[in-house]
């Protein structure tokens, strides 16, 4: 239990002085609901980082054609592509007890809920691979006049979708129009008109400025130049200084990247808005979601490969070798408790884990780390799931799927029961807090220094400003800390060269993770995994028969 003094310090550090003052003053700090800290398994990872030596007994080696490192969306998508190519001789190694990476989900007696990513914008007509995948889930019901797939109503985010809390009242939408000056509203309209221009922009090859996946977009000089600016500088260049517009754009940067306006590449800031619109004048592509968020997609990818997946195994060493005059890979792994080891003699490895891990796991990289690896930096996040016995009090616009607090460093919460049309009674709120420190190591340390109780108190105190009775209605709070939640597209990263170098295979090790795109989205992880799976399948098909 936090003391009143330490509680005030914590709230000031994470929510600001006004929240600390308004949330304190009681003689005894309020009691917290029960709960626990879930994932991620940092202990064995830190031991490997610090040089844990692993040995595998001779009788604990197995042979397989492909080992996939990481059971997130990229790894599962790579496995899907291998199976489509007729290759079933592969193993997926995943350290965490939950499959899916940052798309993982959990469940309660009331409803399933997300632990991270919780929606996918409906793809445009040119994203053929993703459309094919979503068709397996019966998500669509035809095409519109532009050829874009039409999402069946039951898979669309249900109305009302979004609201924002400001000075004691909830308002519809994510732009704070209430009380806005004529200048505020004019700048907002100018911003939307500029986004519309970029949606219609095409280079000499007919490529869009910003596309999903990003590899389909343009690398024209006009586009790559945006990566040298911050999003804050880009807004200044247009003469836009409205605090409400800046908040709106910064919310987008915090939402997808865990970065502020001053930290985000202008390319990434524009990518957020432009890539989600298929044609000028059309509305942004609608959101596809479920109560458990992208956990629904994880399950569909995982079910066919469950028998080929080893849960609770940390890869310790990846060593490219020559075996029988052919390129091959030896891989060693250790169980999450550190007590058991296993080895694989493989033809190929698909490395579907974050790029920063390569310098610890790939043997030649440990001896001589490539410079490009050090340029990959990641945002730290905390996610808390609050189980409520009743809906919280509201003033203003009613409870939505996405509920944002204007005066908070958090992103607010999503309501898991919203998609199930359960508008009364128990629910689960998933609360998101990105740590946007300039130094990602500082952010990560601040995240990990606080345990379940501190993060539960932060979430409750933050939401208490909008929902005064939320403590008495919360029966449980579980917390997950994501130390490397998503890649940080800071200025110069997307087109600075390091990302491009990291996409290249190293002997028979092939890389597949959303960080290779510079933006941490489902579409990017799916694309990178699919491409890596296809490359491995093609390589195997070209190999001479022994």
Residue 45 has pLDDT above 80, yes or no: no
Q: For position 46, what pLDDT does the model report? A: 67
Tally of CA atoms within 13 A in the half-sphere of 170 that contains its CB = 22
Residue 229 has pLDDT above 60, yes or no: yes
What phi, psi does 342 have (nearest 5°)? -150, 150
pLDDT per residue over 385-420, tens digit each? 999 999 999 899 999 999 999 999 999 999 999 999
The helix/strand/coil state of 202 is strand
Cβ contacts of residue 379 below 8 Å, gap of 6+?
Answer: 257, 258, 259, 434, 435, 436, 440, 443, 485, 486, 487, 488
Give the rounded percent of residues in the chain with a pLDDT score beyond 90.
89
Give the rounded percent of residues in the chain with a pLDDT score beyond 70.
94
pLDDT band at 4 (very low <50, low <70, confident <90, very high): low
39-48, 267-276, 311-320 — which is least confidently predicted?
39-48
Q: For position 83, what pLDDT does the model report? A: 98
- The residue with greater pLDDT, 50 or 187, is 187
Residue 196 has pLDDT above 80, yes or no: yes
Residue 263 has pLDDT above 80, yes or no: yes
Q: Is 105-116+378-487 a domain of CATH 3.40.605.10? A: no
Q: For strands 140-143 and 309-311, give the pairing.
A: unpaired
How many whole angstroms separate alpha carbon 542 and alpha carbon 92?
23
Q: What is the mean pLDDT of the chain?
A: 94
Which CATH superfamily hosts domain 43-97+312-374+498-542?
FAD/NAD(P)-binding domain (3.50.50.60)
Residue 23 has pLDDT above 60, yes or no: no
Q: For position 40, what pLDDT does the model report? A: 63
Alpha helices in 335-480 (DSSP H): 358-361, 363-367, 440-449, 452-464, 470-473
249, 191 in Cβ contact below 8 A? yes
pLDDT per residue over 117-145, tens digit each? 999 999 999 999 999 999 999 999 999 99
446, 359 in Cβ contact below 8 A? no
- Give the start-to-end residue ranges of the domains of the chain: 43-97+312-374+498-542, 105-116+378-487, 158-285
Cβ contacts of residue 282 below 8 Å, gap of 6+?
Answer: 146
pLDDT band at 5 (very low <50, low <70, confident <90, very high): low
270, 395 in Cβ contact below 8 A? no
Q: Beta-carbon neighbour count of residue 538 at 10 Å?
A: 10
Q: What is the DSSP string of 377-400?
A: -EEEEEEEEEEESSPPP--BSPP-
- The residue with greater pLDDT, 26 or 265, is 265
- Whether the predicted model's global pTM rises above the 0.85 cut: yes
CATH number belonging to domain 158-285: 1.10.405.10
pLDDT band at 279 (very low <50, low <70, confident <90, very high): confident
pLDDT per residue over 160-188, tens digit each? 999 999 999 999 999 999 999 999 999 99
CA 12 to chain centre: 27
The helix/strand/coil state of 485 is strand
Nearest to 245 by CA among 193, 322, 316, 320: 193
540, 92 in Cβ contact below 8 A? no
388, 426 in Cβ contact below 8 A? yes
Residue 18 has pLDDT above 80, yes or no: no
How many whole angstroms separate alpha carbon 261 and alpha carbon 237?
14
Nearest to 211 by CA among 498, 487, 519: 519
Residue 208 has pLDDT above 60, yes or no: yes
Q: Beta-carbon neighbour count of residue 500 at 10 Å?
A: 14
Long-range contacts: 127-135, Cβ < 8 Å, 24+? Answer: 127/212, 127/213, 127/216, 127/523, 129/526, 129/527, 129/530, 130/212, 130/523, 130/526, 130/527, 133/80, 133/526, 134/288
pLDDT per residue over 322-357, tens digit each? 999 999 999 999 998 889 999 999 999 999 999 999
Q: For strands 378-388 and 474-487, give the pairing.
A: antiparallel
Q: For position 251, what pLDDT does the model report? A: 98
């Amino acid at each position: 239990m936090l003391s009143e003094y330490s509680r005030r310090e914590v709230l000031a550090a994470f929510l600001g002085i006004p929240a600390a003052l308004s949330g304190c003053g009681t003689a005894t700090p309020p009691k917290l609901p029960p709960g626990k800290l879930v994932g991620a398994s940092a202990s064995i990872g830190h031991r490997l980082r610090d040089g844990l030596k692993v040995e595998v007994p001779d009788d604990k080696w197995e042979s397989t054609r492909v080992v996939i490192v990481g059971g997130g969306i990229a790894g599962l998508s790579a496995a899907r592509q291998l199976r489509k190519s007729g290759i079933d001789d592969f193993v997926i190694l995943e350290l965490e007890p939950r499959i899916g990476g940052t798309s993982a989900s959990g469940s309660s007696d009331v409803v399933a809920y997300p632990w991270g990513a919780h929606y996918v914008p409906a793809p445009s007509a040119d994203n053929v691979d993703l459309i094919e995948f979503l068709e397996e889930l019966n998500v669509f019901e035809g095409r519109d006049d532009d050829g874009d797939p039409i999402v069946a109503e039951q898979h669309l985010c249900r109305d009302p979708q979004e609201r924002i809390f400001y000075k004691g009242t909830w308002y519809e939408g994510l732009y704070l129009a209430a009380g806005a000056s004529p200048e505020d509203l004019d700048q907002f309209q100018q911003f939307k008109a500029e986004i519309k221009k970029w949606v219609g922009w095409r280079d000499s090859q007919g490529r869009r400025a910003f596309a999903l996946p990003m590899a389909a977009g343009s690398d024209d000089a006009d586009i790559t130049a945006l990566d040298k600016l911050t999003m804050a500088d880009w807004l200044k260049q247009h003469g836009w200084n409205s605090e409400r517009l800046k908040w709106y754009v910064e919310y987008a940067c915090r939402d997808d990247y865990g970065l502020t306006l001053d930290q985000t590449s202008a390319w990434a800031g524009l990518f957020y808005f432009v890539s989600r619109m298929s044609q000028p004048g059309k509305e942004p592509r609608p959101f596809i979601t479920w109560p458990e968020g992208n956990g629904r997609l994880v399950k569909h990818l995982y079910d066919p490969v469950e028998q080929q997946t080893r849960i609770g195994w940390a890869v310790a060493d990846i060593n490219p070798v020559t075996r029988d005059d052919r390129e091959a890979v030896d891989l060693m792994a250790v169980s999450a408790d550190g007590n058991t080891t296993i080895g694989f003699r493989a033809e190929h490895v698909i490395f579907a884990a974050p790029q920063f891990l390569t310098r610890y796991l790939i043997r030649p990289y440990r001896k001589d780390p490539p410079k490009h690896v050090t340029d990959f930096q990641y945002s730290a996040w905390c996610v808390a799931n609050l189980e409520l016995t009743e809906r919280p009090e509201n003033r203003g616009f009613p409870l939505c799927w996405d509920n944002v607090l204007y005066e908070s460093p958090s992103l607010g919460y999503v309501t898991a029961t919203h998609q199930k049309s359960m508008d009364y009674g128990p629910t689960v709120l998933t609360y998101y807090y990105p740590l946007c420190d300039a130094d990602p190591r500082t952010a990560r340390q601040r995240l990990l220094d606080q345990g379940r109780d501190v993060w539960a108190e932060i979430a409750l105190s933050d939401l208490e400003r909008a929902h005064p009775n939320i403590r008495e209605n919360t029966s449980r709070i579980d917390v997950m800390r994501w130390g490397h939640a998503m890649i940080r597209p800071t200025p110069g990263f997307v087109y600075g060269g390091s990302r491009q170098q990291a996409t290249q295979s190293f002997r028979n090790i092939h890389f597949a993770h959303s960080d290779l795109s510079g933006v941490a989205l489902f579409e990017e992880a799916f694309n990178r995994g699919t491409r890596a799976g296809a490359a491995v399948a093609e390589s195997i098909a070209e190999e001479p028969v022994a």
